Amino acid sequence: MPTISVQQSLLRTLMEAQGFVHDIEQVNDELPLLGTDIDACTEEQLDIEIFPDRPDLLSGETLAFAMANFLHGAPARPDMDVQPSGITMKVDSSLRDVRPVILGAVVRGVSLPDDSEGCEAFIKGLMDHQEKLHFALGRRRQRASIGVHDLARLAPPFHVKTVGEKHAFVPLAREESMT
């Protein structure tokens, strides 16, 4: 089962943003009923194992939404304002046997922290969530994989194709090129 470690300060901030008090004792007592096993619940950090049927709990942010609903009766927020982006993605036939299904999404309106430390923590959290999804749902990227890109640095239309092992790129929040 995937394990996540979440700073209690992050959960406190996220719960307060939803109008709730973050009670560590309540979390320790009641969170297992939500589909987790608690490895550790200290004043500083929460370490939990997530059951395979709860991929919605794989990050501190998504966990906080579930906690607000489960622990405080806040309404669930399943509805999203999904609209066509107008951006196209061309998929090369070389992917037919490698990735038979390709999907894309454009997410707008994400506010990043102003300070570099906060921005780095946000991106680390996003990448950690992505890795947990690769493990839990994507079967270690054999069934599914996720790429996150800064749309401000890219220009559509996008072309998805296979490339050689020596192909290099600069990952999100990095300066150096990787293969």
Structural domain contains residue 165: no
**Residue 38, pLDDT score:** 96
Average pLDDT, the chain: 88
Q: What is the extent of the structural domain holding 21?
A: 3-72
Q: In this structure, are 95 and 153 located in the same domain?
A: yes
Q: In this structure, are 111 and 156 located in the same domain?
A: yes
**Spatial distance between the Cα atoms of 113 and 136, rounded to a whole number of angstroms:** 28
Contact 60/122 with Cβ under 8 angstroms?
Answer: no
The CATH number for 51's domain is 3.30.56.10
Number of domains in the chain: 2
Structural domain contains residue 107: yes
**Spatial distance between the Cα atoms of 179 and 177, rounded to a whole number of angstroms:** 7
pLDDT digits (tens, 9 = 90+) for 70-128: 999 998 876 778 899 999 999 999 988 888 888 888 888 888 888 888 888 888 888 88
